[in-house]
Amino acid sequence: MVELCSKLLAAAALTACLGTPALADQPKFKADPPPSILTPDEVQTSVGTLRFKDGAPDEKTVQLALDQLDLSRGIETFMKGMPATSVFAICRGLDQAGVKENVGVGITEDMMDARALFLTPNTTTPYVFSCINLTAGPMVVEVPPGVLGPVDDAYFRWVTDLGVTGPDQGRGGRYLFLPPDYSGPVPPFGFHVVKSPTNRLVMFYRIFVKDGDLKGAVETVKTTAKLYPLADFAKQPATTYVNTSGMQFNTISGNTFEFFQELDSVVQNEPANFVEPETVGLFAAIGIKKGQPFKPDERMTRILTDSVALGNAAARSFLWAPRDKRVYIYPDRRWLTPFVGGSYLFMDGAELMLDVRSTFFYFATGITPAMADAKPGTGSAYAGAFRDKDGNYLDGSKTYMVTLPGPIPMNNFWSFTVYDNQTRSLLETDQKTAGIDSLSKELKMNADGSATVWFGPTAPAGHEGNWVQTMPGKGWNSLLRLYGPLEPWFDKSWKPGDFEEVK
């Protein structure tokens, strides 16, 4: 008996030493939890070793976990904040060019060229730009007849179309934009009334030029396009018209820590609920909150600087190396589109295509249903190319050719425009249009109705009229646009050729 008691006492002492409760200390109500819900005392991860004492993290683990969380939230803020900073940068750039909010109308009287930095602009038609800030109260916009374009809010959400696809149906007219919280009187007639979800709006529309009379089209805008407060309707102030052609200014938001400062400016200007609560919470989690100064400490500044670099790299990866294969228009071509399934909201059934949405807002500006869901014979179709037929990036020192099979399915005209990989704006060359279109008098069509276009630093002999200049040492990409695309574009029975390197 003495020997048995000694053995039991020794076992109890060993159990106590190992930290396991003695049998008498076991809880009466025991869950027997599975290992999957328990946290080991030590966990190896990609960011370091995490250590816990019976589930409680030590100080270093707390720091590692929160640093990683703030980094991921910073990256997600970059992805979700791009639409907002893009609108902010457009209005800031226009302001620097003299196109002031609520009073100015910018016009590319002599088209656009590479001196102005815009995301994927068009050089084939003149454009009109304005920014509206409804913190000043309801604003009136008068548009000329026969224009086409959208008004988007401060988060680059579509608000309304103007002109042909808008309520005025191309006849021109007055639009009255009301602030988000407006509850005052509204004129009973004479206006297309639109209540905005945000304070800032960006407006841009295309002018259609008839019979080559560009000057006449511009003069029509100057005599009919107006922008003024509703309060001044009885005695309208003069609208300022600014010819932005040939001017140097930037409308592209930052890919550095500056991005977060731009986003903070948007948040401070807009109602607290200008985006859904989860996004409001995301911005607030990194220190961007309505009514509070954005003053990150040294640690947070370092983390956000890393996060915008990683977010920028991811956004560029979506363009040059898409992992979402739905963006490819054809299974055997390199051409891609962000408007998968014709959705301007980037929806595929119940799914919001996150990478696809980021692809668009990193690369382009302006959103409207008419852009994404054109009907045969109307609107525009877009296809982007970032690699050649063999999968290599397009190189400004090399020569490429691309063929559009005939007949090319469009009612109006087609165009190629080349863009700088860095800025996503027009490629800086000696060609003002940074591209070519089917209205060019120098363009030579092939006998079968097809068109072959050459891209390279020098014009191939005999193909000067079909040549688009690129620059050695510069990467570039291109957009093919079809204006008034026809059924073969939509059913994909017509396919443009890929860019083929000519050696």
Q: Which CATH number goes with the domain that contains 420?
A: 2.60.120.600
Per-residue pLDDT of 393-444, as tens digits, reads: 999 999 999 999 999 999 989 999 999 999 999 999 999 999 999 999 999 9
Closest CA to 347 of 322, 332, 367: 367
- Asked if the structure places residue 138 within a domain, the reply is yes
Q: What value does the mean pLDDT take over residues 214-243?
A: 95
pLDDT at 371: 83
- Asked if the structure places residue 50 within a domain, the reply is no
- Rounded to a whole number of angstroms, the distance between the first and last alpha carbons of the chain is 98
Cα-based distances in Å from 82 to 74, 268, 289: 12, 16, 17
pLDDT at 3: 54
pLDDT at 373: 79
Structure confidence at residue 22 as a pLDDT band (50, 70, 90): low
pLDDT at 226: 97
Per-residue pLDDT of 248-288, as tens digits, reads: 999 999 999 999 999 999 999 999 999 999 999 999 999 99
Indicate whether 238 and 323 sit together in one domain.
no
Which DSSP helix (H) or strand (E) runs through 3? helix 2-18
- Asked if the structure places residue 126 within a domain, the reply is yes
Indicate whether 353 and 242 sit together in one domain.
no
Per-residue pLDDT of 156-202, as tens digits, reads: 999 999 999 999 999 999 999 999 999 999 999 999 999 999 999 99
pLDDT at 251: 98
- Asked if the structure places residue 164 within a domain, the reply is yes
pLDDT of 477 above 80: yes
Structure confidence at residue 11 as a pLDDT band (50, 70, 90): very low
Indicate whether 360 and 464 sit together in one domain.
yes
Per-residue pLDDT of 54-80, as tens digits, reads: 999 999 999 999 999 999 999 999 999
- Asked if the structure places residue 109 within a domain, the reply is yes
Indicate whether 189 and 335 sit together in one domain.
no
Indicate whether 332 and 229 sit together in one domain.
no
pLDDT at 212: 84
The CATH number for 216's domain is 2.60.40.1610
pLDDT at 210: 85
What residues have CB less than 8 Å from 290, skipping those under 6 apart? 267, 268, 270, 272
The tokens of 300 are what? 């947070």
CA atoms within 13 A on the CB side of 303: 23
Indicate whether 236 and 329 sit together in one domain.
no
> For residues 402 and 477, what is the distance between their CA atoms, to the nearest angstrom?
13
Considering the entire predicted model, what is its pTM?
Answer: 0.92
Indicate whether 238 and 333 sit together in one domain.
no
Residues 159 and 151 sit within 8 Å (Cβ to Cβ): yes
pLDDT at 18: 42
Question: At which of 246, 272, 290 does a domain end?
Answer: 246
Reading across the β-sheet that carries 435-437, which strands appear in turn? Answer: 380-385, 476-485, 410-420, 435-437
CA atoms within 13 A on the CB side of 151: 28
Q: What value does the mean pLDDT take over residues 331-350?
A: 94
Indicate whether 364 and 479 sit together in one domain.
yes
Question: At which of 215, 246, 277 does a domain end?
Answer: 246
How many helices (DSSP H) and strands (DSSP E) are in the chain? 9, 25
Residue listed under structure tokens 């680059």: 156
pLDDT at 10: 47
> For residues 291 and 150, what is the distance between their CA atoms, to the nearest angstrom?
30
Total number of domains in the chain: 2
> For residues 140 and 23, what is the distance between their CA atoms, to the nearest angstrom?
82
Per-residue pLDDT of 92-146, as tens digits, reads: 999 999 999 999 999 999 999 999 999 999 998 899 999 999 999 999 999 999 9
Residues 470 and 418 sit within 8 Å (Cβ to Cβ): yes
Which DSSP helix (H) or strand (E) runs through 354? helix 354-363
pLDDT of 8 above 50: no
pLDDT of 21 above 90: no
- Asked if the structure places residue 327 within a domain, the reply is yes
- Asked if the structure places residue 13 within a domain, the reply is no
| Cα Rg, the chain, nearest whole Å | 29
pLDDT at 337: 94
Domain of residue 193: give its range: 98-246
Question: At which of 207, 231, 246 does a domain end?
Answer: 246
What residues have CB less than 8 Å from 128, skipping those under 6 apart? 105, 106, 107, 147, 149, 203, 204, 205, 206, 207, 221, 225
Indicate whether 153 and 234 sit together in one domain.
yes
pLDDT at 209: 86
pLDDT at 85: 98
- Asked if the structure places residue 332 within a domain, the reply is yes
